[in-house]
Amino acid sequence: MTTRPISTDDAGLAAPSDEHSLSVGPNGPLLLQDHYLIQKMAHFNRERVPERVVHAKGGGAHGILQITEDVSQFTKAGLFQKGKETPLFLRFSTVAGELGSADTARDPRGFAIKFYTEEGNYDLVGNNTPIFFIRDPSKFSDFIHSQKRRADTHLRDNNMQWDFWTLSPESAHQVTFLMTDRGIPASWRNMHGFGSHTFLWYNAAGAKFWVKYHFRTEQGIRNYTGDEAAALLVDPDHHIRDLHTAIAAGDHPSWKVNVQIMPFEAAADYRFNPFDLTKVWPHSDYPEITIGRFVLNRNPENYFTEVEQASFEPSNMVPGIGASPDKMLQGRLFSYPDTHRYRIGPNYLQLPINQPRNAVNSYNFDGPMAFRSSQDPVYAPNSVNGPAADPSLYEGEGYHVTGELLRSAYAKHAEDDDYVQPRALWENVLSETDRAHLVSNVVGHASAPEVTADMKKRVVEYWTNIHKDLGQGVARGLGLS
Ligand code: NDP
Ligand code: HEM
């Protein structure tokens, strides 16, 4: 006979019953003194943390990064030194849908990586696209509001989406990407990831470079057409299931780690603003260099503690890596730790999934759910040999900035234009089939009953600005030519 452990409450007290509450007689009312029942019900009432305000639906896995090339001339970051292996956790997500929404929606996919390095956590919180819809963080909440639900009906509304996009021409590149077949990846394993922003790298001598990250899937790109995705709506968890099943079967997905590197001084007069998140750096100017690869090789054991409570923050950067002046990145440096303090609590970094693997010698302590014991001394500076900062670790991070305080668009570089890069995608990259699918995906989206006749004209104008053939195709599909 197998022996079973005795069930307990959360204080370790043996449970009086797994099925019956304490009552006065078999039919009688229940008693307040049934602390076991009360703990069970009260804890259940607190089982959810708020879902992420964006990227609520997702899944993730553990893995390992291996660096195969020497890039010490560009960065001194320990995790990027040749031969180094670093454990990581990666969470994939959709952006606009809520927790139970379908994995196969047309949407960018989040691609958030936490590297547990010997120098602390390095978080690269990217997407499966190298660009974004806007270039100033002051528009982010408005943009997201337009993609989520109306205030009156609580319905998603394509008219609202096109209203925002057509009034925000900087969205053209990302919306083009989204409306191609890459807008619905067949699985998380079959898509690339991008750091998207430009970041700073600096080496041990303090020399600086600008860098973009590209994670190239080794499974190959595979997408669903709109019709294929619609048929899969019966399984809203299609992508979570796919990743979990593959890893459980030993089929471990992997990505090449590529970077584009720009000399620090080249940014000032580069033909595009290299910090504008709506632009890529064309490969002809800055080819991708492979520096290593990572593999996802372990499923989470518990979804809530490892995936739901995972908290990624672009502000986690190790020595050798820094921020760029990209205004979107600057906004995100604030936003993520702020939302984590609200969503999880001020001690979110003490949870096992978020906890760094190196020693934490922080002078922050206490607060709800504090787990790490603070040690004396509890202040700095101190004369009793407490931990002390080493500013030399960040030497090389600083650079000169100057300018007048103002609210303005970025100053234009020679070839900056909202349409030139989506036009290059249409003209030089997409196949005939890709183009036909792009047109039909746009037409399908703009044909929703709520999209007004006036809005349809604005939609045609938006796509005509990118390319006249594209505009004509959309106009034909919408019955406007
Ligand atoms: P390249 O021909 O060197 O690169 C084209 C890029 O486009 C490749 O990364 C390719 O990825 C990707 N791509 C292929 N098909 C699609 C698709 N259906 N939807 C989105 N991307 C696709 O040209 P450039 O570097 O000069 O860039 C030209 C345009 O390509 C850009 O304006 C941009 O729209 C797009 N692009 C550029 C990237 C960059 O970092 N330079 C990255 C991604 C897109 P793959 O190798 O998987 O086919
Ligand atoms: C999630 C804000 C732009 C990728 C989030 C969350 C917030 C947020 C508040 C929820 C985090 C949580 O609750 O854990 C912003 C703001 C942006 C911005 C203010 C612009 C100013 C971007 C961009 C990218 C991106 C440009 C990609 C390049 C992600 C990803 C997640 C996320 C991947 C999910 C992380 C996870 O898996 O937990 N964002 N975001 N965001 N964002 Fe952004």
Q: Whose C-alpha lies nearest to ligand 1, atom 8?
A: 429
Q: Exposed, middle or buried, 165 (CB in 10 Å: 0-12/13-18/19+)?
A: buried
Catalytic sites, residue numbers = 55, 127
Q: Whose C-alpha lies nearest to ligand 1, atom 29?
A: 425
pLDDT, one tens digit per residue, over 212-228 is 999 999 999 999 999 99
* ipTM > 0.95, yes or no: yes
Ligand whose nearest atom lies closest to the CA of 192: 1
**Ligand 1 close to Cβ of residue 177 (< 6 A):** yes
**Ligand 2 close to Cβ of residue 293 (< 6 A):** no
pLDDT, one tens digit per residue, over 395-450 is 999 999 999 999 999 999 999 999 999 999 999 999 999 999 999 999 999 999 99
- Report the pLDDT value the prediction gives residue 60, as an integer from 0 to 100: 98
CA distances from 92 to 57, 176, 236 (A): 8, 21, 15
Q: Examine the pLDDT at 168 and tell me if it is beyond 70.
A: yes
> Which ligand 2 atom minimizes the distance to the CA of 51?
13
How far apart CA 29 and CA 220 sit, in angstroms, is 62
- Report the pLDDT value the prediction gives residue 354, as an integer from 0 to 100: 98
Q: Whose C-alpha lies nearest to ligand 2, atom 37?
A: 91
> Which ligand 2 atom minimizes the distance to the CA of 338?
9
The pLDDT mean for the chain works out to 97
Residue that has been written with the tokens 């001339």 in this structure:
73
C-alpha Rg value of the chain to the nearest Å: 25
pLDDT, one tens digit per residue, over 169-207 is 999 999 999 999 999 999 999 999 999 999 999 999 999
- What is the Å distance from ligand 1's center to 421 Cα? 10
How far apart CA 192 and CA 68 sit, in angstroms, is 19
Q: Give the pLDDT mean for 299-314.
A: 98
pTM for the full model? Answer: 0.97
| pLDDT band per the 50, 70, 90 thresholds, residue 481 | confident
- Report the pLDDT value the prediction gives residue 85, as an integer from 0 to 100: 98
> Which ligand 1 atom minimizes the distance to the CA of 217?
47
Q: Give the pLDDT mean for 457-464.
A: 98
**Ligand 1 close to Cβ of residue 427 (< 6 A):** no
Ligand whose nearest atom lies closest to the CA of 309: 2
Question: What are the sequence ranges of the domains in the chain?
Answer: 58-133+185-371
> Which ligand 1 atom minimizes the distance to the CA of 221?
47
**Ligand 1 close to Cβ of residue 424 (< 6 A):** yes
DSSP output for 370-420? --SPP-S--SSS-SS------GGGGTT------------PPPPPTT--TTH
Please state which CATH class domain 58-133+185-371 belongs to.
mainly beta
**Ligand 2 close to Cβ of residue 66 (< 6 A):** no
List the end-to-end C-alpha distance of the chain, in Å, as a whole number: 78
Answer yes or no: is 202 a known binding residue: no
**Ligand 1 close to Cβ of residue 420 (< 6 A):** no
How far apart CA 468 and CA 464 sit, in angstroms, is 5
Q: Give the pLDDT mean for 458-471.
A: 98
Q: Examine the pLDDT at 1 and tell me if it is beyond 70.
A: no
Percent of the chain at pLDDT > 90 equals: 98
Nearest to 261 by CA among 292, 277, 293, 285: 285
**Ligand 1 close to Cβ of residue 434 (< 6 A):** yes
Which of 177, 425, 433, 466 most suits a substitution to test ligand 1, by most atoms within 8 Å of the C-beta? 425
Q: Whose C-alpha lies nearest to ligand 1, atom 30?
A: 425
- What is the Å distance from ligand 2's center to 431 Cα? 31
| pLDDT band per the 50, 70, 90 thresholds, residue 297 | very high
